[in-house]
A = this chain, B = another copy of it.
């Protein structure tokens, strides 16, 4: 059960609600976010919800049977929109496009990318400065200095930044320089990191785990929400299966399922989802028709020279063509009311 409290609830009123919950022997978690105060009550005894309905101080109340609660559409029917400021929004009714290199490499690289995005009306740039790499002997990213460089150029050009955070100690230094924290597929169940991102007032995009289930992704989002941060994006990026013809198996089934189970925006990453440059375009367009609220893909002025992931990265001509087609496809989806 989720109880949303009135902002101006009196302490006495709150105590009375807590008392009632204790009487039905439910375990209570108090959640305070940027937008509201909630009581999450979990237990097994049956009870009559009307015993709560008349209590003063309650704004809203619902029984949510899912293992996740606040991110469930059973709690909040209206889709959530994430506002990045300066008119940049992510959510139903528009298609968010995020593009950029796998790794931030240099100032000239950032500048050429920013120009490419501006020319094509894209407002959000992706780029990693901390890179999770299977082998300890490979390039691990430019670090916080790279991020500052990234920020200066983007800030001056009205471009928002999404970048991956790998551990708790990076949150504070990264905070001034990112607009969206990205949690990578290897960290989807790094619960300490999720807890801490719950205390931050900036949006968090959580990628689905390498073999993570849809329910696990939603439970990871619940960590961030219950930690205090309602600004969450979900990202499908392909799962690990037996098939070796593609890097991962992009699970577009997850798009309509996530959209129905949760009120959060759903982003698709076709670059990691298929892992082969020439197939990124059809998979990106397919993701739009499946219902995605946004697409994040890798681009680079010279993919063949990229520090990482070059084989799945579009060059600027391919990227410009894709952006045009994404918009046309989204228009049709709106028109057809899919």
Contacts and interface: CB of A to CB of B under 8 A. Distances in A.
Given A189-B186, A251-B243, A67 B282 contact: no
Interface in A212-229: 213-216, 219, 222-223, 226-227
Nearest to A220: B134
Contacts of A195: 136
Contact of A133 (B167, B186, B191): B191
Contacts of A338: 281-282, 285, 325
B281 A285 contact: no
A255 B282 contact: yes
A225 to B, nearest CB: 9
A170 to B, nearest CB: 8
Interface string A150-186: 0000000000000000111100000000000000001
Contacts of A169: 168-169, 192
A286 B279 contact: no
B211 A210 contact: yes
Interface string A114-153: 0000000000000000001111110000000000000000
B219 A135 contact: yes
Interface string A284-318: 01111111000000000000000000000000000
A253 B257 contact: no
A102 interface: no
A282 B290 contact: yes
A189 B211 CA distance: 13
A257 B282 contact: no
A187 B137 CA distance: 19
B211 A242 contact: yes
Contacts of A191: 132-133, 136, 166, 186
A232 to B, nearest CB: 13
A29 B245 contact: no
Nearest to A325: B336
Given A186-B189, A289-B289, A325-B338, A226 B137 contact: yes
A329 interface: yes
A240 B173 CA distance: 36
A268 to B, nearest CB: 10
Contacts of A27: 137
Nearest to A67: B135
A78 interface: no
